Amino acid sequence: MAASIGAGLNRVDGHLKVSGGARYAGEEPIANMAHAVLIQSTIGKGRVAEIDTGAAERAPGVLLVLTARNAPKLPGTKANPRRPGEAYPLLQDDTVDYNGQHIGLVVAETFEQATHAARLVAVRYAEEPPLARLEQALDKAMVPKHFRDGAREPDSRRGDPEAAFAAAPVKLDQTYTTPVEHHNPMEPHAVTAAWDGGKLTLYHSTQGVFPSRKTVAGLFGIPVDDVHVISHYVGGGFGTKGSTWPHVTLTAVASRMTKRPVKLMLTRRQMYSSNGYRSKTIQRLRLAADADGRLVAMMHDGILQTATFGEFVEPVGLPTEMMYACPNVAVTHRVAPINAGLPTFMRAPGEATGMYALESAMDELAAQLAVDPLELRLRNYAERDEHGDRPWSSKSLKACYERGAAAFGWARRNRRAGATREGDVLIGSGMASATYPANRSQAGATVRLGADGTAVVRSGTQDIGTGTYTIMTQVAADALGLPPSRVIAELGDSAMPATPVSGGSQTAASVMPAIHAAAKAVREQLLALAVGLNDGPLAGAKPADIDIANGALFLVRDPSQREDIGAVLSRAGRDAIAATRDVQPAADAKKYGMHAFGAHFAEVRVDTALGEVRVSRYVGAFAAGRILNAKTARSQAIGGIVYGLGMALTEETHVDARTARIVNANIAEYLVPVHADVPAIEIVLVDEDDPHVNALGIKGLGELPMVGAAAAIANAVYHATGRRVRDMPIRPDKLIAAS
């Protein structure tokens, strides 16, 4: 039987999704369910001076109007205030810190009744002038207190970058900015909460079944085992569903107070003010090189916005620490609190924004040196992780450069900016590097092999649309010697073995080794049974002499000596055999720098009269360890590039400086790329063998393809026009005004 791992297996959950059989968090049919609707602030700063809920409480079907006046005090509201969304605001006081903050919740028999009643609530505010934008708070910028959850310092340096910069013959000093961006997954946030005595069940659209359970249990001050989280299908997350936002806990509060199951589904507009966003960034890059184009100094200073009531840091400088060979490097991060919701993780947080700035600066440095941009990167190729002073576990970036450039036709590029034209259209090409850490965490799985020859693999992880059901099936099938059609994958339930959040591109790298280990343990049990049966065709053989394929065990030297899995179990008097395994990162993992790498090549066409930019060709080449499914991997790569296209050309959240209100909180005016914006995208997946990252050699691929995509497009725009726009996104008005 051909190996399942690596093959482009169709999604095993695909039919359920296209036929409507896949139930998402807001679709669970629960008896006696009530419906909740949020009440949100309409000012950017101040307090609720008075809130009149009388008309709402008298409205038809209303069961509860929950505000700070009647909300219970939750024991764990101060448990972890620095984490996005987990502690505030939960109606614990009358303070208003941002426009759109939750100040109440209406529960009624129907969604329509709750919506009507929420509009009847009258609020009088004691209003204060807000700090609505990062630019208004630059004088308040400060060193982060909880950078990377305290795992490291926010600043780093090696060598003497200031002195090296001052002495260098070639210097670049530029500032790059990225705007506030919102995630916009296809499925809005949804949760249904139901209490049974002191035990709570949450049907929750989440990227972290187990972190969500822990957070909610902590806020209510109840044992973790008393919270059951179920998340069988998630319609996209991109980071916004990686934290347990206040609407989840408030729904659970409402359920406990009404003694009814309660469902809350956020509207698309509420998604812009309820569950985080990517912070605006202001990044100063100073690069210095010798006359041969070798970097001698790099300084990357980032200023990011955060909230007045908590801290989240977009770690823009981390890629600069390790991306290129350079003896003198300094990175700083500063945060400025404003009256906005708390920022959060958004696809490749830090790497996407930081590499946009770094790779744009490298392109500008190449222009100064009159060196091909790809050649400049090769001259500064980092053969080891210089920040960690350690070797790479594996690194195939050169292969990504070579194969991507060949597929794109980079060698045919005219180096002179503005040199290629077709009528009124200027044509340019640009490239950029990609990198993302090879993250992994402790994870568990159970595999059960039945006498019918069918295996069930269970892990509490979540599938956020990336194809986790499918690769679980493939890994278990290969380890057990079964065709994928005889493996059933189950996930998304906190009653199953624990797993980490689906963030940091770590699900495959964490969960699949656990599934592989559990399946191997089951296989070993099966082989022991087969050789131990006195009258079996494999009796007395050594387990090492037996293989399994297509659901049958056989002697490698004589395949005619074989027996079906079901027959082995039946003759052994077993209905099934099972094993559970919990796997954590290798003890020596910190000895290596572990990253995935890639390269982007983009062609753009710019209308000289309108300033309109169209991406016309694109090649992305990526090396992310062992590829488990070629089809879903390619899909992930294309999706990441499209995300980067939006970052480069269209996506920007606009905030009214007077009211701190988001004025384009919809996908009619917050412009995400649509089919007409996206060219044919060629993906090159570079084979990579990494013996150190985990037992299966897997690195994450979910975020890597977005990193550098915006820079490649921006660099292509410069090459087409000779005009450099350093403030994302590249709208026509900016391009026309650029000098």
For residue 65, give the H/E element and its range: strand 62-66
User: Do 400 and 415 fall into the same domain?
Assistant: yes
Q: Give the domain extent around 369.
A: 350-438+590-737
For the chain, give the mean pLDDT. 96
Beta bridge partners of 390: 385
Q: What mean pLDDT is predicted for residues 513-517? A: 98
CA 518 to chain centre: 27
By residue count, the chain amounts to 739
DSSP 92-152: SSSEE-STT-EEEEEEESSHHHHHHHHHH-EEEEEE-----SGGGGGGG-B--SSGGGGTS
Residue 142 lies in a domain: no
Q: Is residue 114 part of a domain?
A: yes
pLDDT over 90, % of the chain: 95
Tell which of 521, 556, 584 closes a domain.
584
User: Does residue 330 form part of some domain?
Assistant: no
Q: List phi, psi (to 5°) of 39.
A: -110, 130
- pLDDT, tens digit, for every residue of 329-350? 999 999 999 999 999 999 999 9
Q: Are 665 and 273 in contact (CB under 8 A)?
A: yes
Is 429 domain-assigned? yes
The tally of CA atoms less than 13 A away on the side-chain side of residue 379 is 18
Query: Partners of 278 in the beta sheet?
Result: 181
In a domain? residue 181:
no
Q: pLDDT value at position 83?
A: 61
Q: What φ, ψ does residue 178 adopt, rounded to 5°?
A: -125, 145
pLDDT of res. 586: 87
Q: Which residues of 122-158 are buried (b: 16+ CB within 10 A; e: fewer)?
A: ebebeeeebbbbbebbeeebeebebbeeeeeebebeb
Q: Where are the alpha helices (DSSP H) in 298-350?
A: 318-322
Angle subtended by helix axes 630-649 and 351-369, to nearest 10 = 70
Element (H, E) at 219: helix 209-220
Q: What is the pLDDT of residue 87?
A: 67
H or E element: which one contains 666?
none
pLDDT of residue 84: 66
Residues 661/654, Cβ–Cβ less than 8 Å? no
416 pLDDT tier (thresholds 50, 70, 90)? very high
538-566 pLDDT, tens digit per residue, is: 999 999 999 999 999 999 999 999 999 99
Phi and psi (nearest 5°) for 510? Answer: -95, -50
Amino acid found at 650: T
pLDDT for 588 beyond 90: no
Q: Are 313 and 333 in contact (CB under 8 A)?
A: yes
Q: Are residues 215 and 88 in the same domain?
A: yes
For 275-287, the pLDDT digits (tens) are 999 999 999 999 9
- Split at pLDDT 50, 70, 90, the class of 610 is very high
Match 């990441």 to its residue by tokens. Answer: 640
Q: Which of 364, 386, 603, 703 is an active site residue?
A: 703
Told to judge if 703 belongs to the known catalytic residues of this protein, a careful annotator would answer yes
Scan for tokens 């037992």, then name that residue: 695
Q: What single-letter amino acid sits at 70? A: N
CA 36/CA 114 separation, integer angstroms: 6
At position 54, the amino acid (one-letter code) is G
Residue 289 domain-assigned (yes or no): no
Q: What is the pLDDT of residues 65-108, one digit of tens each?
A: 999 999 999 988 765 555 667 767 899 999 999 999 999 999 99
Last residue in a domain, options 539, 556, 584: 584
In-domain check, residue 655: yes
> Does residue 45 share a domain with residue 92?
yes
Residue 736's pLDDT band, with cuts at 50, 70 and 90, is confident
Looking up residue 124, the CATH number of its domain turns out to be 3.30.365.10
Task: Answer yes or no: do 540 and 392 share one domain.
Answer: no
Please check the confidence at residue 310 and state whether its pLDDT lies above 70.
Answer: yes
Band the pLDDT of 533: cuts 50, 70, 90.
confident
Cis peptide bond upstream of 729, omega within 30: yes
Provide the token pair at 15: 């039919």
User: What pLDDT score does 3 carry?
Assistant: 83
pLDDT at 589: 85
DSSP-derived secondary structure for 386-405: TTTTB-BS---HHHHHHHHH
Question: Do residues 44 and 102 touch, judged by C-beta distance below 8 A?
Answer: no
pLDDT of residue 456: 98
Strands (E), 541-584: 546-549, 552-555, 562-564, 576-583
Same domain, 474 and 364: no
Checking if the pLDDT of 1 tops 60, the result is no
Do residues 108 and 41 share a domain? yes
Determine, yes or no, domain membership for 327: no
- Domain stop point among 584, 619, 647: 584
Q: What is the pLDDT of residue 24?
A: 97
Residues 447 and 433 placed together within one structural domain of the fold? no
- Distance separating alpha carbons of residues 365 and 363, to the nearest angstrom: 5
- Residues 415 and 445 grouped into a single domain: no
Pair 461, 431 in one domain: no
**How many helices and strands (H and E) does the chain possess?**
17, 27
Q: Helices (DSSP H) in 223-301: which residue ranges?
A: 246-258, 271-274
**635-686 pLDDT per residue, tens:** 999 999 999 999 999 999 999 999 999 999 999 999 999 999 999 999 999 9
Query: Strand pairing of 262-265 and 190-196?
Result: antiparallel
Question: Which tokens belong to 16?
Answer: 């359920």
Question: Is 611 found in the same domain as 578?
Answer: no
577 and 601 part of one domain: no
Residue 470 to residue 633: CA distance in whole angstroms: 11
Q: Where does the pLDDT of residue 2 fall: very low under 50, low under 70, confident under 90, or very high at 90 and above?
A: low
Taking the alpha carbons of 550, 556, 560, 564 in that order, is the dihedral positive or negative? negative
Number of structural domains the chain divides into: 3
* Residue 739: band (very low, low, confident or very high) from pLDDT cuts 50, 70, 90: very low
Q: Which band of pLDDT confidence, cut at 50, 70 and 90, is reported for residue 531?
A: very high
Whether residues 423 and 506 fall in one domain = no
The answer to whether 701 and 631 have CB atoms below 8 angstroms apart is no
pLDDT at 153: 97
CA distances for 378 relative to 161, 319, 400, 628, 701, angstroms: 21, 17, 12, 29, 23
